[in-house]
Amino acid sequence: MRIGILGGTFDPVHFGHLRLAEEMYEELSLTKFLLIPCAQAPHNYKSVITPFPDRLEMTRIAASCSSYLEASDIEGQRKGPSYTVETIRIIRDIYPAEAHLFFVLGID
């Protein structure tokens, strides 16, 4: 299993996010690609953003266009700021040890 991971505020999720996921899916021969909206950004806690449930729903709708995309609420299940290292640890616990994780970064 080869899993791509892209986190972001996704406020809103847009074509650039989906295009990046598609490119990485093809280039890295992934089996799944997780889009993970950030519940509470540690560096941006004072910014007014769309509430997490709404951003998660937007991400789910966007992910529904493809069989390999999945919107994850992993960060919404935790309390406090969303730190990438904690999210990766949780994902590592969810998937089998032999799963390869690919953390994808966008330009912003």
Name the one residue in this structure whose structure tokens are 């993970």.
Answer: 36
Map out the domains of the chain with their CATH numbers. Answer: 2-103 (3.40.50.620)
Per-residue pLDDT of 6-55, as tens digits, reads 999 999 999 999 999 999 999 999 999 999 999 988 876 666 579 999 99
Per-residue pLDDT of 67-97, as tens digits, reads 999 999 999 998 888 899 999 999 999 999 9
How far is residue 77's CA from residue 8's CA, in Å, rounded to a whole number?
A: 16
How far is residue 28's CA from residue 25's CA, in Å, rounded to a whole number?
A: 6
Q: What is the pTM of this model?
A: 0.92
Share above pLDDT 70 across residues of the chain, in percent, rounded to a whole number: 94
